[in-house]
């Protein structure tokens, strides 16, 4: 009996010891570890997440939506609450279209409290994930960017990253306007990670819309024409701009090859670049109108001034030839421009002299930014007179030895088309670009009349004619510079023109980089100008004249 009582006493003592230990453990957890445990529990059950703002819409001048935001599903997870990562990965993989191994690495890392599993997927796939009811896996709503017209004006519009910030184009340059203000959201989850409470701590504010001067119909036609140029001549690239010369509004801006805006980052760097503002090239004969304008403005010549044009012209160590072989002839300034005579243009340039010539080149806006509201604009390259070599005045007046951008050339011709006044080119509607006088109205009219001859008999661009309209413009066929000189196989073919010539309301510039088969501006770029203008003139209800 004594032995039984002793055993009971030992058991009771052991029980008291265990109870005491449990009490001490509980006290230790409550007092010393309580804060840490509460924090860990809260971390698993309470999350503060960013509530992305809805991005503003980008539209064309008529309200056609070019870039919009829509709701999408984003799958998130707390790996600490995922009890069976392998099973969860196997169930998620076919729904969200990701490899099981990738999902297993994300879900199996219990050191992490929050991971993105899939971002900005279709809402229907998000609903399918919800129906799986996997502990620790949740679905939230997040805005994503969509481009309803696919490739239309993609290099101009740009792209948005997964995190909702603009990466290129207008999406990048107007980030502050478009983005809005992100908010914060507190999500409280139960023990298996399912949300039981969602509270917006700070509501998000949507971004503001941006309206462009682009006309989507003209933009679509311009891109279609460049696509034809791409198929026919297989160039490295091509660019076209359509402007209203009366106010600097850009109605279309297209680059070929096109880029899928929804997958912008997958395209090569050359294709992603908006070369209308970011690519510099030697303009060749389109620059001759600038040289002639300067000479007329300085009263060194008139449209009827006659120059003796020899078969070749020697300037320092450079021998200047014309596109077509000829003997000694006399040409007026108007004929020199219409026939695109290199020799005659250089003789006009020599009358100006290097310092006067340079002053007018810069007056037209070359060598500096046009301040167009498109990111990535290059300034081009224009040497100073002190940097000229002996043969520079044989190169520069005919558009060699300097580099310009397509938007600079368009802006220069804008001054000729608009009574000598140029407006800052722009694609954002609502601004008030200030006019800048470049040349006198009389000079502008004289040069415009001479540019009509380029499309007339003996001119270099009869292919650019449009029935019922009198047009003015200039072709360019420029050899591309290479180490030690100029390439004999790589050219830039271009054409810049405006219509109607006597009352210009439309300006179109086309540049084709390294066309194959034919290289001449009159054969490659002028027909593209003609197709674009033939559509845009009646579309804009511009009467013949």
Is 285 a residue of the active site? yes
Q: Kind and range of the H or E element at 499?
A: strand 485-499
**Degrees to nearest 5, angle at CA 94 with 91 and 95:** 85
Beta-carbon count within 10 A of 298 CB: 16
Q: Where are the beta strands (DSSP E) in 334-484?
A: 421-423, 435-437, 472-482
Q: How far apart are CA 17 and CA 23, in angstroms?
A: 10
Q: Quick check: helix, strand or coil at residue 322?
A: coil
- 400 HSE (CA, 13 A, CB side): 22
Nearest to residue 286, comparing CAs of 497, 482, 452?
Answer: 497
Q: Helix or strand or coil: residue 385?
A: helix
Q: Which of 154, 285, 341, 392 is catalytic?
A: 285
In angstroms, the CA 366 to CA 358 distance is 10
Question: CA 398 → CA 80, 171, 455, 473, 487, distances in Å?
Answer: 71, 38, 19, 16, 17
Q: Rounded distance, CA 274 to CA 272, Å?
A: 7
Distance CA 296, CA 31 (A): 93
| Look-up of token digits 């030697």 | 282
d(CA 529, CA 507): 9
C-alpha–C-alpha distance, residues 538 and 107, integer Å = 61
Cis peptide before 500 (omega within 30 of 0): yes
Annotated catalytic residues are 285
């Amino acid at each position: 009996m004594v032995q039984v009582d002793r055993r009971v006493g030992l058991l009771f003592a052991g029980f008291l010891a265990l109870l005491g230990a449990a009490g001490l453990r509980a006290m230790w957890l409550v007092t010393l570890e309580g804060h840490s445990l509460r924090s860990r529990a809260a971390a698993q059950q309470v999350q503060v997440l960013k509530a992305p703002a809805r991005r503003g819409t980008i539209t064309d001048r008529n309200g056609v939506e070019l870039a919009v935001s829509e709701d999408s599903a984003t799958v998130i997870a707390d790996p600490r609450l995922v009890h069976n990562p392998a099973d969860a990965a196997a169930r998620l993989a076919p729904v969200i279209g990701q490899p099981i191994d990738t999902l297993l690495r994300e879900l199996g890392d219990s050191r992490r409290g929050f991971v993105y599993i899939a971002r900005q997927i279709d809402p229907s796939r998000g609903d399918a994930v919800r129906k799986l009811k996997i502990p620790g896996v949740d679905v939230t709503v997040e805005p994503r960017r969509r481009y309803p017209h696919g490739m239309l004006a993609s290099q101009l519009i740009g792209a948005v990253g997964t995190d909702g910030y603009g990466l290129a184009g207008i999406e990048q340059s107007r980030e502050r306007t478009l983005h809005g203000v992100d908010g914060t959201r507190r999500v409280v989850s139960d023990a298996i990670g399912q949300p039981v409470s969602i509270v917006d701590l700070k509501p998000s504010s949507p971004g503001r819309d941006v309206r462009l001067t682009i006309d989507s119909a003209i933009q679509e036609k311009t891109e279609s024409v460049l696509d034809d140029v791409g198929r026919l001549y297989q160039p490295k690239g091509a660019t076209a701009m359509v402007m209203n010369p009366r106010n600097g509004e850009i109605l279309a801006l297209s680059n070929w090859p096109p880029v899928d805006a929804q997958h912008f980052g997958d395209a090569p760097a050359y294709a992603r670049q908006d070369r209308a503002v970011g690519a510099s090239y030697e303009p060749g004969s389109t620059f001759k109108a600038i040289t002639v304008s300067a000479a007329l403005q300085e009263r060194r010549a008139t449209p009827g001034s006659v120059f003796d044009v020899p078969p070749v012209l020697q300037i320092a160590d450079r021998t200047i030839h014309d596109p077509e072989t000829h003997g000694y002839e006399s040409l007026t300034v108007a004929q020199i421009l219409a026939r695109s005579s290199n020799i005659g243009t250089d003789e006009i340039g020599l009358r100006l002299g290097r310092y006067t010539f340079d002053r007018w080149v810069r007056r037209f806006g070359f060598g500096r930014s046009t301040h167009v509201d498109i990111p990535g604009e290059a300034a081009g390259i224009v040497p100073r007179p002190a940097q000229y070599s002996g043969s520079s005045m044989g190169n520069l007046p005919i558009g060699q030895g300097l580099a310009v951008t397509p938007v600079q050339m368009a802006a220069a011709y804008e001054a000729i088309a608009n009574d000598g006044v140029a407006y800052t080119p722009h694609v954002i509607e609502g601004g008030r670009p200030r006019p800048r006088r470049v040349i006198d109205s009389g000079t502008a009219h004289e040069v415009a009349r001479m540019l009509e001859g380029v499309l007339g008999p003996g001119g270099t661009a009869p292919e650019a004619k449009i029935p019922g309209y009198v047009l003015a413009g200039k072709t360019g066929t420029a050899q591309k510079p290479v180490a030690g000189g100029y390439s004999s196989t790589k050219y830039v073919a271009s054409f810049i023109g405006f219509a109607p010539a006597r009352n210009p309301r439309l300006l179109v510039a086309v540049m084709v980089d390294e066309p194959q088969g034919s290289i001449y501006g009159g054969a490659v770029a002028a027909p593209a100008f003609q197709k674009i203008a033939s559509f845009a003139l009646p579309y804009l209800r511009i009467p013949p004249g």
